[in-house]
């Protein structure tokens, strides 16, 4: 796995760096083709996946414990939910939750007139769909598949293919299928992380330029990449707990604190009213949004964004699923799925509710023409413009920039570690991938991301993301089949059931024997008593 994947992305990085801006048109054409010809497939797989896990959670299979009969959850419900909530927060949502509603405002769905009150209502709600329950259930195939394999079947899961029981076996076809699955997983991870960094570095550069007055040039972006490389290298070199763990514990409170400040100093009542209205619209339009392809006429901004996000969530499925699986031992399938729907969706929706609501307020009240800035200068300039409207704007700009930077460090360091695990030979329990493997993925991640920044344009980033997630549609469907196969026919589970039945039968038989013996003893005792009584009478 290591040589083919590292060579593929090294080559892709060189192509992006050399091609630069000239590749933007070609990548945009690929995105247009995918959204025009494959939108039905993206939408359909998400609907199938969502219905499958809703059924699974509500059926008898939902009671299945991800662990042994005596296993108890390692974390309290609140602690577990907090960690799931935190997985939905990254630098991308800090940026896109501000910009997406503006895209939907100028190109609204459901036939609304641009910039009308209806368009404002839909703009606030639509982003919450793309980061809501449908999206979060896309992590469930890897989560449930890996957790069931690790905690019920006691299979060591170093790669995603190890959790797919229908691919078990030593035949050539199954070995090729397992390698193909792992290869596609690495492609998805690279696409997801590469697009995240490629999208976020220009925003951080713009915000930093606003704070410091340094011109927002490629030199500044290269400087940011150099700083990120040092942070990534130290985190990944030091390992999972000492390096990545410390970064992870720092970034959550920064983001939540920033969100709370915006809610309190911004138009609090407007934001809360908008969110209450959005909840109603979300429920009313959920089914139509789930199947919202453009059969007639051009796609709206929301439809094209949904295809981008569906590819993005697919690319993150293996890694996010692995993380949630590792913290879910001792919980039932129903508890895990319900927690992901509640805590995961809440983590993402809260940012769209507050930051998206604030951006729409600035546009509606005429404080800043953010849509004009988006059309003329891009999303990085929009984010900088929004932040400068906050009290203590310099402090808020610094906090925002710092939050995004730490998020990037955490995300890329963690993903480099996991990718190195996927591309390592068999590792012993507790063994970490070699430092050379880990560090080489840090270098490739940054080169690939730098190539995307060189190409430039949000459409190019969307294209890479949609392309990397597309092959994982097949992986998702195979996982769904494997999960159902495991739950309905798994020999480990059936053996446990047979053992439980045998134990219950043995207990019943022993009880019957005890009753029989007791009855015979009582009868004999009674006969002796009668005989003794008769003898005494005589």
> 94-124, pLDDT tens digit by residue?
888 999 999 999 988 888 899 999 999 999 9
Q: Is the pLDDT of residue 492 over 80?
A: no
Can you tell me the mean pLDDT for 229-254? 60
Which pLDDT score, from 0 to 100, does residue 240 have? 46
Q: How far is CA 453 from CA 97, 197, 322, 345, 470, in A?
A: 21, 9, 29, 30, 22
Considering only CA atoms, give the Rg of the chain.
28
Q: Could you tell me if 467 and 191 are in contact, meaning their C-beta atoms sit under 8 angstroms apart?
A: yes
Where is pLDDT greater, at 90 or 125? 125
Q: CA 10, 11, 14, 16 torsion: positive or negative?
A: negative
The count of other CB atoms within 10 Å of the CB of residue 23 is 20
In degrees and rounded to multiples of 5, residue 503 shows phi and psi of -65, -45
Of 287-296, 320-329, 507-516, the one with minimum mean pLDDT is 507-516
The count of other CB atoms within 10 Å of the CB of residue 381 is 19
Which pLDDT score, from 0 to 100, does residue 499 have? 64
* CA angle in degrees (0–180, nearest 5) for 17-22-23: 70
Query: Whole-number mean pLDDT of the chain?
Result: 83
The count of other CB atoms within 10 Å of the CB of residue 388 is 15
The two tokens of residue 111 are 């036939």
Helix (H, G, I), strand (E, B) or coil at 63: helix
Q: Could you tell me if 282 and 125 are in contact, meaning their C-beta atoms sit under 8 angstroms apart?
A: yes
Q: Which CATH architecture has domain 1-489?
A: Up-down Bundle (1.20)
Q: Is the pLDDT of residue 299 over 70?
A: yes
The two tokens of residue 166 are 């229908």
Q: Is the pLDDT of residue 335 over 90?
A: yes
Q: How far is CA 364 from CA 55, 96, 114, 119, 247, in A?
A: 42, 19, 12, 11, 38
For the chain, counts of helices (H) and of strands (E): 23, 0
> 46-59, pLDDT tens digit by residue?
999 999 999 999 99
Domain boundaries, given as residue ranges, for the chain: 1-489, 491-537
pTM for the complete prediction? 0.82
Q: Could you tell me if 4 and 277 are in contact, meaning their C-beta atoms sit under 8 angstroms apart?
A: no
Helix (H, G, I), strand (E, B) or coil at 165: helix
- What DSSP assignment string belongs to 508-538? HHHHHHHHHHHHHHHHHHHHHHHHHHHHHH-
User: How many angstroms separate the CA atoms of 427 and 421, rounded?
Assistant: 8
> 7-18, pLDDT tens digit by residue?
888 888 888 888
Q: Which of 109, 465, 461 is nearest to 299 (CA)?
A: 109
User: How many angstroms separate the CA atoms of 125 and 101, rounded?
Assistant: 8
User: How many angstroms separate the CA atoms of 60 and 39, rounded?
Assistant: 33
* Percent of the chain whose predicted confidence (pLDDT) is above 90: 26
Can you tell me the mean pLDDT for 247-262? 73
Q: Which residues contact 258 (CB under 8 A, 6 or more apart)?
A: 94, 396, 399, 400, 403
The count of other CB atoms within 10 Å of the CB of residue 513 is 10
Q: Is the pLDDT of residue 304 over 90?
A: no
User: How many angstroms separate the CA atoms of 284 and 44, rounded?
Assistant: 20
> 33-89, pLDDT tens digit by residue?
887 788 889 999 999 999 999 999 999 899 999 988 888 888 888 878 877 877 767
512 CA to centre of own chain: 54
Q: Is the pLDDT of residue 368 over 80?
A: yes
> 372-393, pLDDT tens digit by residue?
999 998 888 899 899 889 888 8
Q: Could you tell me if 411 and 228 are in contact, meaning their C-beta atoms sit under 8 angstroms apart?
A: no
Which pLDDT score, from 0 to 100, does residue 190 have? 80
Give 180: exposed, middle or buried? Use CB within 10 Å, 0-12, 13-18, 19+.
Answer: middle
User: How many angstroms separate the CA atoms of 311 and 462, rounded?
Assistant: 9
> 434-468, pLDDT tens digit by residue?
878 878 888 888 888 888 888 877 777 888 888 88
Which pLDDT score, from 0 to 100, does residue 243 have? 45
Q: Which of 409, 400, 435, 94 is nearest to 246 (CA)?
A: 409
Q: Which of 456, 326, 354 is nearest to 127 (CA)?
A: 354
User: How many angstroms separate the CA atoms of 538 and 529, rounded?
Assistant: 14
């Amino acid at each position: 796995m290591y040589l083919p994947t590292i060579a593929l992305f090294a080559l892709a990085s060189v192509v992006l760096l050399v091609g630069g801006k000239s590749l933007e048109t070609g990548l945009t054409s690929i995105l247009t083709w995918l959204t025009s010809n494959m939108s039905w497939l993206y939408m359909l797989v998400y609907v199938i996946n969502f219905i499958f896990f809703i059924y699974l959670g509500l059926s008898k299979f939902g009671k299945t414990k991800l662990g042994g009969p005596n296993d108890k959850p390692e974390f309290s419900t609140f602690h577990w939910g907090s960690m799931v909530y935190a997985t939905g927060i990254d630098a991308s949502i800090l940026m896109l939750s501000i910009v997406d509603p503006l895209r939907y405002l100028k190109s609204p769905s459901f036939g609304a007139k641009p910039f009308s009150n209806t368009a404002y209502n839909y703009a606030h709600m639509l982003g919450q769909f793309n980061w809501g329950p449908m999206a979060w259930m896309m992590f469930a195939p890897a989560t449930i598949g890996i957790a069931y394999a690790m905690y019920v079947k006691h299979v060591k899961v170093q790669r995603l293919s190890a959790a797919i029981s229908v691919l078990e076996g030593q035949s050539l076809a199954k070995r090729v299928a397992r390698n193909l699955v792992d290869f596609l997983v690495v492609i998805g991870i690279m696409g997801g992380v590469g697009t995240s960094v490629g999208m976020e570095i220009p925003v951080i550069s713009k915000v930093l330029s606003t704070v410091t007055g340094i011109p927002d040039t490629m030199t500044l972006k290269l400087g940011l990449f150099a700083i990120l490389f040092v942070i990534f290298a130290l985190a990944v070199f030091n390992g999972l707990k000492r390096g990545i763990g410390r970064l992870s514990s720092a970034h959550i409170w920064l983001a939540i604190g920033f969100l709370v400040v915006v809610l309190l100093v911004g138009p609090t009542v407007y934001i809360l009213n908008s969110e209450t209205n959005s909840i109603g619209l979300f429920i009313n339009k959920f089914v139509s949004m789930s199947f919202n392809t453009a059969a007639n006429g051009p796609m709206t901004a929301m439809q094209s964004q949904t295809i981008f996000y569906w590819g993005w969530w697919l690319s993150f499925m293996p890694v996010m699923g692995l993380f949630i699986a590792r913290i879910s031992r001792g919980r039932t399938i129903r508890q895990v799925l319900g927690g992901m729907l509640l805590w995961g969706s809440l983590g993402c929706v809260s940012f769209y509710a507050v930051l998206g609501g604030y951006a729409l307020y600035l546009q509606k009240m005429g404080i800043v023409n953010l849509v004009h800035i988006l059309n003329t200068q891009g999303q990085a300039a929009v984010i900088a413009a929004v932040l400068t409207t906050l009290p203590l704007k310099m402090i808020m700009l610094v906090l925002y920039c710092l939050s995004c930077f730490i998020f990037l460090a955490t995300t890329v360091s963690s993903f480099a570690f996991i990718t190195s695990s996927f591309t390592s030979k068999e590792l012993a329990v507790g063994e970490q991938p070699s430092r050379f493997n880990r560090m080489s993925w840090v270098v490739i991640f940054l080169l690939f991301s730098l190539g995307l920044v060189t190409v430039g344009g949000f459409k190019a980033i969307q294209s890479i993301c949609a392309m990397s997630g597309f092959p994982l549609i097949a992986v998702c469907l195979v996982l769904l089949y494997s999960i159902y196969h495991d739950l309905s026919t798994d020999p480990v589970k059936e053996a446990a059931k047979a053992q439980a039945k045998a134990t219950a039968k043995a207990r019943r038989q022993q009880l019957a024997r005890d009753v029989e013996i007791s009855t015979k003893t009582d009868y004999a005792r009674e006969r002796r008593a009668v005989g003794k009584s008769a003898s005494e009478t005589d």
